[in-house]
Structure 1
Amino acid sequence: MADEADITALSFEEALKELETIVGRLESGEAKLQEAIDLYARGDELRRQCAARLDAAQARIEAIKTDAEGRPVGTAPFNAG
């Protein structure tokens, strides 16, 4: 596995794929205790990286504003809530 510093260099897809591999390894129950602890820590870092990438992507999404006739007149920040 790569160092923690390398996690920020991973694309969202790469981080998610590694996270899925870690989850599978942990769920298998085959990892020894120290390996499981290390995998969990790495997985948590990957999860945070994925969440940060998703938050950044959401911040870039804009909603199209329309006038009374439905014509686009501008954009506004997207609000998922």
Structure 2
Amino acid sequence: MSIEVELSFEEALEQLESIVKELERGELPLAESLDKFENGIKLTKFCSQKLEKAEGKVEVIKEEAGEIKTEIYDNYGEKGAN
């Protein structure tokens, strides 16, 4: 499976969630499970790249708006000092 250029983040995430559900059921033959797993890895990388791009855009927008302030959140969603 190659990730289509016009695939949106939301579509890729939806496909990834579907693959995870199929793999969690454990009903697929090994070869098909491996194919699904490989596709899942590709989708994960695709989504990661999309998120990194979006994060970069947000940082640029914040800089242009004069808000060069990064907030760090811990694993519990509480804002930390920065």
Q: 2:38 maps to which residue?
A: 41
Question: Structure 1: which 4+ aligned runs deviate by more than 6 Å?
Answer: none
TM-score by length of 2: 0.72
2:71, 2:46 → 1: CA distance? 20
CA-based RMSD of the aligned residues comes to 2.3
Which residue, out of 2, 15, 18, partners 1:18? 15
1:36, 1:51 → 2: CA distance? 22
For residues 44-79 of structure 1, the C-alpha deviation after alignment (integer angstroms, 9 at most, x for no partner) is: 0000000000000000013268xxxxxx7x354x74
TM-score by length of 1: 0.73
1:80, 1:36 → 2: CA distance? 39
Q: Relative to structure 1, is the Cα distance of residues 26 and 13 closer, same or farther in structure 2, using a 3 angstrom cutoff?
A: same
For residues 13-62 of structure 1, the C-alpha deviation after alignment (integer angstroms, 9 at most, x for no partner) is: 00000000000000000110000000000000000000000000000013
Contact map agreement 2:3 2:43 (CA 8 A) in 1:
no
2:71, 2:56 → 1: CA distance? 10
Aligned length: 70
Q: What amino acid maps onto 2:39 in structure 1?
A: R
Q: Identify, as 1 or 2, the structure richer in strand.
A: 1
| 1:4 shift after superposition | 0.6
Which of 1 and 2 has greater Rg? Answer: 1
